[in-house]
């Protein structure tokens, strides 16, 4: 009796295989989707900050749209990752071209986009700061921070201690956290510049005696390798320091042989009106970390720029760090298109003008609503601190109400209903941090201010 041999191209059709071969029918009913989400999705990847969680269907420019087609003006743009607007055609096309040519390659090999992007970033740094350097790529901001930690520890002969301003970097290394100059909540009677100077004095005193575990008296040097800082605090509530702060900080760090590492993951790529926010303060970093908006959020890519002496192959050789997807072709291709756009258009002037226009509107809202304790901004990185009616006591419950009301999609302005997407930050989770698209129009800024007015009126009426 002869038996037919199975065709290896046709696996046995068990129940699982039959189910897998069925064409997937998209579920367009929101209730059904939420039921599946409640059963199968973790909440640990940052959802359920609002109840019920929002489900969005499509996007364009400054707007997201839900399944029912309701329009939501986004004033946080994926935490400042989508600086050039949702569904930006030029950047989407760059991704598609790369997808059809060289979408994947192992990081042990080279591709044109990686080399050209690194060259652009390094040449831009040299033109701005007169420092030769190199660029090291990774996938996300957290990975780039870890790479920077490895780089400075290598440069400082294994020293693993770091200073940081207002941001925790997990358990990678021990860190000493130094207060960021937060003028609104600083000592009364001090100007912003005086408060910044006070913070710097407090920091330098750490080096005065070996009993603070900052200075090694026998070696005559600091125990710390680097000072990690966001020039404009991101999650910390878009805090903007006085203009003299980083210039004076760099002097202290240089005196004690501590490297300055600036984190531009959220504020880079013209969020503040310059390529890097540190450029507002007239200092040269030793290391710079970037990510987010360099690909407009289309494909994760991050990286580290460092001065030549810290990162040259003789001191930081192949294999010093490794990530399978680090200099991925899709990310580098989109980023390369992004920087080519920056060469063609002077975003600095337009971002500063739009930011000043938006900030003026926020200042008018502050005059009208007692719960707004403080507003501030640099470029299109803006903040609105929400307080009790005394204008000072943090009120994060009110902020939560504002976020929830914005998500209802029923704020009336210009003859139609809108939703409003807001992000929250700050030391007390009471700051509305505003990061609209850099491509936002003046009309859309006007709409944003009208919607914020409607929202504030709704949550404060008794």
Q: What is the DSSP letter of 230?
A: -
Please give the pLDDT value at position 287.
Answer: 98
Please give the pLDDT value at position 8.
Answer: 55
Counting every residue written for the chain, the total comes to: 462
Domain 28-87+346-462 adopts which CATH fold?
3.90.1150
H or E stretch at 57 = strand 56-60
Closest CA to 144 of 5, 308, 277, 325: 325
Q: What is the DSSP letter of 394?
A: B
Please give the pLDDT value at position 330.
Answer: 98
Neighbour count for residue 16 (Cβ, 10 Å): 8
Please give the pLDDT value at position 354.
Answer: 98
Neighbour count for residue 15 (Cβ, 10 Å): 7
Tokens 């739009």 -> residue: 354
| Domain at 102-344, CATH from 3.40.640.10, 3.40.50.150, 3.90.1150.110, 3.40.50.20 | 3.40.640.10
Angle between helix axes 442-460 and 396-407 (nearest 10 degrees) is: 120
Please give the pLDDT value at position 169.
Answer: 44
Backbone angles phi, psi at 197, to 5 degrees: -65, -40
Which sequence spans correspond to the domains of the chain? 28-87+346-462, 102-344
Closest CA to 323 of 147, 89, 65, 122: 147
Please give the pLDDT value at position 50.
Answer: 77
Per-residue pLDDT in tens (0 to 9) along the chain, 462 residues: 555 665 655 555 565 555 556 667 777 789 999 999 999 999 888 778 778 889 999 999 999 999 999 999 999 999 999 999 999 999 999 999 999 999 999 999 999 999 999 999 999 999 999 999 999 999 999 999 999 999 999 998 878 789 998 654 444 446 888 889 999 999 999 999 999 999 999 999 988 876 666 877 666 678 899 999 999 999 999 999 999 999 999 999 999 999 999 999 999 999 999 999 999 999 999 999 999 999 999 999 999 999 999 999 999 999 899 889 999 999 999 999 999 999 999 999 999 999 999 999 999 999 999 999 999 999 999 999 999 999 999 999 999 999 999 999 999 999 999 999 999 999 999 999 999 999 999 999 999 999 999 999 999 996
Please state whether the peptide bond connecting residue 211 to the residue before it is cis, i.e. omega within 30 degrees of 0.
Answer: no
Distances (CA, A) of 151 to 94, 288, 316, 347, 376: 32, 11, 7, 32, 34
Cβ 127 vs Cβ 278: under 8 Å = no
Question: In the chain, helix, strand, coil percent, each to 5?
Answer: 40, 20, 40
> Which three-class secondary structure state does DSSP give residue 306?
strand
Residues linked to residue 61 through DSSP beta bridges, in sequence order: 86
Please give the pLDDT value at position 170.
Answer: 45
For residue 48 the two structure tokens come to: 């359920």
Distance, in Å, from the CA atom of 383 to the CA atom of 454, rounded to the nearest integer, reads: 18
């Amino acid at each position: 009796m002869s038996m037919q041999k199975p065709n290896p191209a046709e696996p046995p059709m068990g129940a699982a295989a039959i189910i897998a071969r069925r064409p997937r029918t998209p579920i367009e009913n929101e209730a059904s989707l939420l039921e599946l989400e409640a059963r199968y999705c973790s909440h640990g990847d940052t959802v359920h900050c609002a109840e019920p969680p929002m489900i969005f269907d499509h996007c364009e420019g400054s707007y997201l749209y839900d399944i029912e087609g309701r329009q939501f003006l986004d004033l946080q743009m994926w935490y400042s990752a989508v600086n050039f607007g949702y569904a930006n055609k030029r950047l989407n096309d760059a991704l598609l071209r790369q997808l059809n040519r060289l979408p994947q390659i192992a990081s042990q090999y080279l591709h044109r986009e990686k080399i050209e992007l690194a060259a652009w970033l390094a040449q831009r740094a040299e033109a701005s700061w007169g420092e030769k350097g190199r660029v090291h790529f990774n996938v996300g901001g957290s990975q780039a921070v870890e790479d920077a930690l490895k780089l400075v520890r290598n440069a400082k002969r294994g020293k693993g201690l770091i200073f940081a301003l207002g941001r925790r970097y997990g358990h990678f290394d021990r860190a000493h956290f130094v207060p960021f100059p937060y003028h609104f909540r600083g000592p009364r009677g001090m100007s912003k510049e005086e408060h910044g100077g006070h913070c710097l004095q407090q920091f330098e005193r750490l080096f005065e005696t070996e009993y603070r575990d900052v200075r090694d008296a026998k070696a005559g040097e600091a125990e710390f390798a680097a000072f990690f800082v966001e020039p404009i605090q991101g999650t910390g509530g878009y805090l903007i320091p006085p203009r003299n702060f980083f210039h004076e900080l760099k002097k202290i760090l240089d005196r004690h042989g501590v490297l300055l590492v600036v984190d531009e993951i959220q504020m880079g790529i013209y969020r503040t009106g310059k390529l890097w926010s540190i450029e507002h303060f007239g200092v040269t970093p030793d290391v710079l970390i970037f990510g987010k908006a360099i690909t407009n959020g289309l494909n994760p890519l991050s990286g580290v720029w460092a001065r030549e002496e810290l990162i040259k192959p003789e001191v930081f050789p192949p294999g010093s760090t490794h990530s399978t997807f680090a200099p991925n072709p899709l990310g580098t291709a989109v980023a390369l298109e992004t920087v080519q756009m920056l060469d063609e258009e002077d975003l600095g002037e337009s971002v500063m003008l739009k930011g000043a226009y938006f900030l003026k509107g926020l200042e008018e809202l502050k005059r009208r609503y007692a719960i707004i304790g403080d507003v501030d901004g640099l470029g299109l990185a803006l903040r609105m601190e929400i307080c009790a009616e005394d204008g000072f006591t943090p009120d994060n419950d009110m902020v939560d109400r504002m976020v929830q009301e914005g998500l209802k999609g029923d704020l009336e302005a210009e003859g139609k209903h809108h939703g409003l997407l807001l992000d929250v930050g700050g030391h007390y989770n009471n700051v509305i941090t505003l990061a609209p698209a850099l491509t936002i129009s003046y009309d859309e800024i006007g709409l944003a201010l009208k919607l914020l007015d409607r929202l504030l009126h709704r949550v404060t009426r008794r």
